[in-house]
């Protein structure tokens, strides 16, 4: 991979990356995964340090980034709001400028997307989005890698997202469009993706030839699906809406009845953590068509590729 072209880039959203760059990062992810499985040394970030800022709790994100940096020969520093001056109101711009003098890259898992944009605008080292309220691009890259590993192609594959039009949905839809994969999202009325993001996805589809469809009918959506994806109905920060969301999303559970409309060899994906019995039935998430743990593992490999691209020399 020619990492020179990634110099000076951040990883805030897949909208900032071309289709060719997304595919190149996915190819490199597969190579790094193979290296790890075969015990091939790949310590491309010796002496490099990643600062990891967490304003939202995490299991997969923290472990995969920390392990990834270790496997690449570098190191990672965990910073929660309680462990840094951010928790006491220090401006994001000050934090960015200070950390830039200590570390080689900054990863952040935070709330509003404007926070990471301000961080990136004031940082002189690469900034990686590990989740904001609008986007989750690292997760989308892991999703794409998992689909490719199982299906062997993106061409002719129909991916259907069932549920809330949230940050996970935004990045998945963008990623699918970038690689030319047909994508459909089905949500209850009022829970659709943000309109400006929908317009971006439509523009990408015009370039790649992918098909994009939004519907409020889950049965219509999953007709002939190769991949069915869902997420929790109540994301972090929306807990006060739990009761209303349980009622609004009741018809959108991914269960044995719904998946009958998909292809028999459909894949089930979920970014985890999952609420079994709510957005997905136990029979589906723990069934033979579920690839959720391969998907979770692939967070490690795609993030290593991103780290090498942005922090490598």
Q: Among 6, 61, 3, which Cα is nearest to 32's?
A: 3
Q: Is 294 helix (H, G, I), strand (E, B) or coil?
A: helix
- Contact (CB, 8 A) for 25 and 302: yes
C-alpha distances (whole Å) from 105 to each of 64, 98, 127, 307 are 16, 12, 6, 8
Q: Is residue 101 annotated as involved in ligand binding?
A: no
Annotation says 136 is catalytic: yes
Q: Is residue 123 annotated as involved in ligand binding?
A: no
Q: Is residue 85 annotated as involved in ligand binding?
A: yes
Q: Is residue 269 annotated as involved in ligand binding?
A: no
Q: Is residue 60 annotated as involved in ligand binding?
A: yes
Q: Is residue 59 annotated as involved in ligand binding?
A: yes
Q: Is residue 72 annotated as involved in ligand binding?
A: no
Annotation says 231 is catalytic: yes
Q: Among residues 143, 299, 301, 303, which one is catalytic?
A: 299
Q: Is residue 245 annotated as involved in ligand binding?
A: no
Place of tokens 């989005």: 129
Q: Is residue 136 annotated as involved in ligand binding?
A: yes
Annotation says 248 is catalytic: no
Q: Is residue 236 annotated as involved in ligand binding?
A: yes
Residue 290 pairs with which residues in a beta bridge?
268
What is the Cα gyration radius of the chain? 19
Q: Is residue 299 annotated as involved in ligand binding?
A: yes
Q: Among 161, 164, 169, which Cα is nearest to 222's?
A: 161
Q: Is residue 62 annotated as involved in ligand binding?
A: no
Q: Among 119, 123, 148, which Cα is nearest to 295's?
A: 148
Report cis status (omega within 30 of 0) of the bond before 273.
yes
Annotation says 299 is catalytic: yes
Q: Among residues 231, 245, 295, 301, which one is catalytic?
A: 231
Q: Among residues 139, 253, 295, 303, which one is catalytic?
A: 139
Q: Among residues 136, 170, 245, 270, which one is catalytic?
A: 136
Q: Is residue 137 annotated as involved in ligand binding?
A: yes
Annotation says 109 is catalytic: yes
Q: Classify 14 in phi/psi space as left (phi over 0), alpha (psi -120 to 50) or beta.
A: alpha
- Contact (CB, 8 A) for 56 and 111: yes
Annotation says 36 is catalytic: no
Q: Is residue 231 annotated as involved in ligand binding?
A: yes
Cα 29 from Cα 202, distance rounded (Å): 27
Q: Is 76 helix (H, G, I), strand (E, B) or coil?
A: strand
Q: Residue ranges for the binding site for L-ornithine?
A: 167, 231, 235-236
Q: Residue ranges for the binding site for carbamoyl phosphate?
A: 58-61, 85, 109, 136-139, 271-272, 299
Residues marked active site are found at 109, 136, 139, 231, 271, 299
Q: Residue ranges for the binding site?
A: 58-61, 85, 109, 136-139, 167, 231, 235-236, 271-272, 299
């Amino acid at each position: 991979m020619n990492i020179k072209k990634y110099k000076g880039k951040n990883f805030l959203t897949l909208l900032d990356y071309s289709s060719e760059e997304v595919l190149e990062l996915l190819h490199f992810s597969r190579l790094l995964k193979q290296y790890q499985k075969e015990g091939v040394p790949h310590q491309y970030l010796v002496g490099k340090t990643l600062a990891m800022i967490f304003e939202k709790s995490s299991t997969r994100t923290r472990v995969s980034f920390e392990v990834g940096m270790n496997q690449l020969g570098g190191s990672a520093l965990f910073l929660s709001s309680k462990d840094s001056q951010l928790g006491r109101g220090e401006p994001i711009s000050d934090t960015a400028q200070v950390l830039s003098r200590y570390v080689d890259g900054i990863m952040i898992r935070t709330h509003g997307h404007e926070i990471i944009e301000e961080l990136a605008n004031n940082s002189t080292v690469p900034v990686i989005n590990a989740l904001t309220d609008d986007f989750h691009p690292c997760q989308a890259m892991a999703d794409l890698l998992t689909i490719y590993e199982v299906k062997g192609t993106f061409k002719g594959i129909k991916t259907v997202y069932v549920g809330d039009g949230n940050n996970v949905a935004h990045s998945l839809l963008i990623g699918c469009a970038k690689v030319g994969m047909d994508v459909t999202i089905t949500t209850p009325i009022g829970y659709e993706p943000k309109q400006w993001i929908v317009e971006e996805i439509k523009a990408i589809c015009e370039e790649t030839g992918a098909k994009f469809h939004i519907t409020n009918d889950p049965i219509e959506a999953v007709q002939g699906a190769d991949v069915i994806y869902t997420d929790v109905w109540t994301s972090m920060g929306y807990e006060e809406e739990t009761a209303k969301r349980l009622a609004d999303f009741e018809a959108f559970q991914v269960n044995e009845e719904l998946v009958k409309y998909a292809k028999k060899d459909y894949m089930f994906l979920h970014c985890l953590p999952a609420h079994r019995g709510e957005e997905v039935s136990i029979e589906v998430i723990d069934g033979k068509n579920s690839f959720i743990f391969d998907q979770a593992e692939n967070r490690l490999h795609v993030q290593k590729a991103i780290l090498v691209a942005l922090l490598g020399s």
